[in-house]
Amino acid sequence: MSTLLVRELFGRGVRRVLKWIVVAVWTAGVLLAAAGIGLGDAGIAWRLGPPLALVGVMLLVFYPLTGWLHASQVGRHDPNVAHPITHTLDASGLGITTRAATVHVKWDGMHKVRETDDMFLFYYTDRYAYFLPKRTVGAESAVDGLRDRIRDWLPASVPYQHRS
């Protein structure tokens, strides 16, 4: 779940631009090193190789590691994680009750609702969402029923995005 949210965070805005700048600079470095080797100058590959390898490994590890680190920080710092979290969905909106707080977001106050293979995400801003894992809903027929009810309850102004 954290990996999904990190991917969303780096999928738009300034973070997306920065991510693609790093990828573009790394790709240019690899092409420059390859061109140097092709032209008979292996020295450039020896000079660029270690930093390119380091950045390449960081790019490959960054997404899963960032999601895992975020999840472990939440587990250490949020006392509610160790206690039950109750989700209530009805015609008025989404209710979430934890040990320390109760939140109710009306359907017309949602930014969007997004369904992934594993969960429902209820965005109350363009960046922040409450989530409901499908495994907690029950059988596939219960998930289908919940999906239909959410779509019925959502006003036309709130998009429902389904990723299959």
* pLDDT per residue rounded down to tens, the chain (164 residues): 445 555 555 565 666 677 778 888 888 888 888 888 888 888 887 888 888 888 888 777 776 677 677 777 777 777 777 788 899 999 999 999 988 889 999 999 999 999 988 889 999 998 888 889 999 998 999 999 999 999 999 999 999 998 75
Is pTM beyond 0.75 here?
no
The verdict on 33 and 99 lying in the same domain is: no
How much is the pLDDT for 3?
52
Residue 82's Cα: distance from chain center in Å? Answer: 22
Q: Tokens 């109760």 correspond to what residue?
A: 102
Among 34, 50, 77, where does a domain finish?
77
Among 50, 77, 104, where does a domain finish?
77
The total of structural domains in the chain comes to: 2
DSSP for 11-57, written as a single string: TSHHHHHHHHHHHHHHHHHHHHHHHHHHTT-HHHHHHHHHHHHHHHH
Element (H or E) spanning 76, and its range?
Answer: helix 42-77
The verdict on 57 and 120 lying in the same domain is: no
Is residue 83 left, alpha or beta, with left meaning phi > 0 and alpha meaning psi from -120 to 50? beta
How much is the pLDDT for 32?
86
The verdict on 90 and 145 lying in the same domain is: yes
How much is the pLDDT for 108?
94
The verdict on 117 and 135 lying in the same domain is: yes
Query: Per the structure block, which two tokens stand in for 132?
Result: 């409901």
The verdict on 87 and 158 lying in the same domain is: yes
Identify the domain containing residue 18 by its residue range: 2-77
DSSP-derived letter for residue 89 is E
Q: Mark 22-49 as b/e (b = at least 16 C-beta within 10 Å).
A: eeeebeebbeebeebeeeeeeebbeebe
How much is the pLDDT for 6?
55
How much is the pLDDT for 128?
85
The verdict on 38 and 12 lying in the same domain is: yes
The verdict on 26 and 95 lying in the same domain is: no
The verdict on 49 and 118 lying in the same domain is: no
